[in-house]
Amino acid sequence: HAIVRPGPYICAEWHNGGLPVWLTSTPGIGLRRSEPQYVEAVSAYLRRVYEIVAPRQIDRGGNVVLVQIENEYGAYGSDHDYLRTLTELTRACDITVPLTTVDQPEPHMLAAGTLPDLHTTGSFGSRATERLATLREHQPTGPLMCSEFWDGWFDWWGGVHHTTDAAASASELDALLAAGASVNIYMLHGGTNFGTTNGANDKGRYAPIVTSYDYDAPLDESGHPTEKYHAFREVIARYAPVPDEVPPARPAAPVRSVALRATGDWLPAASAGAGAAVAPPTFEELGQLGPLVRYDITLPDEAFGDTDSAVLAFAEVRDLAWVAVDGAPVGRLQRALHERSLPIPRGSQLTVLVEDQGRVNYDARLGENKGLVGPVTLGGHELTGWSAQPVDLAAVAAGIPAASEQTTAGRAGLAGTFDLDEPADLFLDTDAWSKGFAFVNGFFLGRYWRNGPQRTLYVPAPATRAGANEIVVVELEHVVEPVAAFIAAPDLGHREE
């Protein structure tokens, strides 16, 4: 059976909460409310989705039992006219199964996030008896359901690896089932934010999500059972039949150490037509969907006055910027640390490489612009006349194996090959590197960062092959050692004790 939750806003710690950048960057658009441009786009999307869903409903011989309207809307807005528009569209598209909403069982969220004719479900991972009681207060009749039973949590760069006690999670599951509630486990199977699909949170401090979405789920990132899987299975067996088959434990992955050839600075040269923009354009204005943009500008000598340095200040950096003067690195600014300025030496050319570390997926900062946002000053003088060049990361990665320059100092590309007897899951140890992106056989594994907690990248078996395999690393800062190590098991980082 399937519960269809088409969003299009899904949260899920996914880039922009699942909303496409072309939509959220539309001038004047109002997200997740009764704004004509947004409603028109979402309606067109949902009509296409429901063309697929309608013939597959359970009352027509299919497997779809429920369809959800929006997603945790009470945590974002309270536009009931918007919810009504989505509900009426769904029914007009011949969806006849029950319609649901989901919100955290907080009174204000339950009141804001649903309508009287929609069945309300909850999202939570603890205090199950209390949460069900709150849900029942707002919905006196009908089935109780936790449609997102959070059995773990996600990680962000600079934080810890989150885990939940298997016995405690199983006890909460038992409480739900004992109450006769229906349960949808989030997550049953951990996953991966491959490429640059990770989202971010910002509740006063920007926190980009790591590449792994293992989530401490019953089935881990590579699909193998954990202690929590067996604990959940034991609980479920008290209430319903369970199959005899149990998935096998994760085997040790192949171990390899691969020497990498470092190919020097991979950053494309500044494009022609410098000074085309008065202010630095955002990623959206450039149409850049990738994670990197290079900004260049000629520095005015008068901004330094009689000194050999001056303070370079940005209105806002989204999200991480490497600053260089005349090609020499002078510093880095992190949005996560609220950094916006640094002193730079006298020079003639400023280069700023900016990384979009992940778009906010929850709450009010959905759809925000990326890049250098707002004016930039040097010694109090506004800098105008910028050039900006989107970096084609895929093209950069493809060109690294053929590059000839040999150096490991500073920003560098690295490439190497390794052999496998057959395709296999691998765990790539990133300890010898600083920050960047990794590819195996052209498959974009995602981001790595010494900031942690994540220490390995999951390489799924379908991305590998028997015989020769290629690894490419796009390093943004520097490598400690030009080597790629594949280890036997994942290392997702330190935990809170």
Active site residues: 72, 148
Contact 367, 25 (CB under 8 A): yes
The residues near 255 (Cβ < 8 Å, ≥ 6 apart) are 486, 487, 488
Burial of 387 (0-12, 13-18, 19+ CB in 10 A): buried
What sign for the dihedral angle of Cα 129, 105, 159, 170? positive
Phi, psi of 36 (to 5 degrees): -55, -45
Rg over alpha carbons for the chain, rounded to the nearest Å, is 25
Residue type, 146: C
Angle between helix 80-92 and helix 36-53 axes, rounded to 10 deg: 30
Give the three-class secondary structure for 110.
helix
Dist. CA 337–CA 332, nearest whole Å? 11
Q: How far is CA 142 from the centre of its chain?
A: 35
375 phi/psi in degrees, rounded to 5: -70, 155
Report which of 220, 222, 200 is spatially closest to residue 209, judged by C-alpha positions.
Answer: 200
Neighbours of 272 (CB within 10 A): 8
Q: What is the maximal distance between C-alpha atoms in the chain?
A: 81
Q: State CA 425 to chain mean position distance.
A: 22
- Which CA distances in Å does 478 have to 86, 112, 253, 265, 448? 49, 49, 27, 10, 13
Residue 483: Cβ within 10 Å count: 16
The closest of 387, 208, 368, 359 to 293, measured between CA atoms, is 387
3-state SS string for 10-76: CCCCEHHHHCCHHHHCCCCCCCCCCCHHHHHHHHHHHHHHHHHHHHHEHHHCCCEEEEECCCCHHHC
> Alpha-carbon distance 149 to 170, whole Å?
11
